[in-house]
Amino acid sequence: MKYINKSFSIEKVKAQNLAKKFNTPIYCYSYKQLKVNINNFKKNFKYFSPLVCFAIKANTNVNLIREIKKLGLGADVVSIGEMMKALKAGINPKKIVFSGVGKTYAEISYAIDKKILLINAESKSEIIEIEKVAKSKNKIIDIGIRLNPNTDAKTLSQISTGKKENKFGVNKKTFFKLVEYSKNSKNIKLKCLSVHIGSQIVDHKPYEKMLKIVDEIIKKTNHKFQFIDLGGGMGISYDDNNKKLNYKKYSIAIKKILKNHNSKIIFEPGRAIVGNIGVLISKIIYIKENGKKDFIILDAAMNDLMRPALYGANHRIIPALKTSQVSKRIYEFVGPICESTDKFSTIKKFQKLKEKDLIVICDVGAYGMSLSSNYNVRPKPIEILIKGSKINIIKKRQKLIDLI
């Protein structure tokens, strides 16, 4: 994605032309960037050839998931709906892992019928439920147990999951007990230790800490884990001075613990695969002067992209058409929704904007469309996948009539 003759382009297609053709707002993804991300991920961890399961919740567009599948990834799902989408996209069940703290009987039953690779359990009650379902089907089911390693991921508190106060996984003491419990079960087989300490992690040190704990715990259990599922969380760069996770350093730390354990590594990256492949193209409806700043009122809002309102996340905003005129005003980019948190960003130095101009909100491929809603009875945007100069509509814009 770059400017071609001052016009922001996704591969060979100008954002401007897309807006003209399809109206706004538009979620637009680059296939080339997706391929780069996946190949780069695989390359950096190839030493131990992990099973890479894309975390479906980051982007649930089934046509996009199909492309991700074709590029060799499996899926990490957190609901029956996500499992259905992963299967519909053609992902091999033997490459699907099922995470989450509240899997229901029906979800477990479906997972067993579909013969997925692993159900990663997060509590004793859940293990008992899995046993119950397995017993009723007269089967032995492979499970993982998710450990809460009590490590600070050094990320936004709202997307931190590996500290003891978080609802995810079980603590060390419970983990040991559950390993023992599983050994005596007739209907489950403990195959995996799983962890996932949070999202948008840009420092490798929390991962090193997590790995040290995983290493110690496995040694203590004296159980052979066929898989170690390290979850996702790999952070990307959302702005120019924002660093991203150093894969090499993470990879070296993993290699170290693998000397002690003969296990297959599973990863569950979401954001790292799709975060930077997508932009949200939006049109300025009005510009409203207010003291020192102008409100730039966009046709995209928090219902389309919820991350800023939900966890104060910041997304770069850039003009669709570059000019050399700099505005003297402070711009506050907002949506039309009746909430004060419906605000994307405040920018001091931006190029001079006028009503009907187009802007581009960057890096929205992960947790963008998947977190969108119909709040204020606003239809969800169209989703487009660009391959070179080819425009593929991978999801139509919702029709107002379907919402009424």
Ligand X SMILES: *Cc1c(COP(=O)(O)O)cnc(C)c1O
Binding residues for ligand X (CB under 6 A): 55, 57-58, 76, 78, 99, 196, 199, 231-234, 268-272, 366
Q: Closest approach of Cβ 254 to ligand X, in Å?
A: 16
Set 28, 53, 338, 362: catalytic member: 338
Q: What are phi and psi of 144, to 5 degrees?
A: -120, 165
Residue 19 or 197: the one with the smaller Cβ distance to ligand X is 197
Q: Closest approach of Cβ 7 to ligand X, in Å?
A: 31
Amino acid identity, position 214: V
Residue 75 or 190: the one with the smaller Cβ distance to ligand X is 75
Residue 76 or 304: the one with the smaller Cβ distance to ligand X is 76
Asked if the peptide bond before residue 379 counts as cis, ω within 30 degrees of 0, the response is no
Q: Closest approach of Cβ 138 to ligand X, in Å?
A: 29
Contacts of range 285-294, beta carbons closer than 8 Å, 24 or more positions apart? 285/336, 285/355, 286/355, 287/353, 287/354, 287/355, 289/329, 292/329, 292/330, 293/329, 293/330, 293/331, 293/332, 293/346, 294/327, 294/329, 294/330, 294/331, 294/332
Residue 25 or 270: the one with the smaller Cβ distance to ligand X is 270
CA torsion sign for 298, 301, 304, 310 is: positive
- The rounded radius of gyration (Å) of the Cα atoms in the chain is 23
**What whole-number distance in Å separates Cα of residue 270 and Cα of residue 369?**
13
Residue 1 or 159: the one with the smaller Cβ distance to ligand X is 159
Active site residue 362: no
Q: Closest approach of Cβ 286 to ligand X, in Å?
A: 35
Q: Which two tokens stand for residue 309?
A: 């309102």
**What whole-number distance in Å separates Cα of residue 82 and Cα of residue 98?**
9
**What whole-number distance in Å separates Cα of residue 394 and Cα of residue 63?**
6
On the CB side of 273, CA atoms within 13 Å amount to: 27
Q: Closest approach of Cβ 260 to ligand X, in Å?
A: 24
What residues are labeled active site? 338
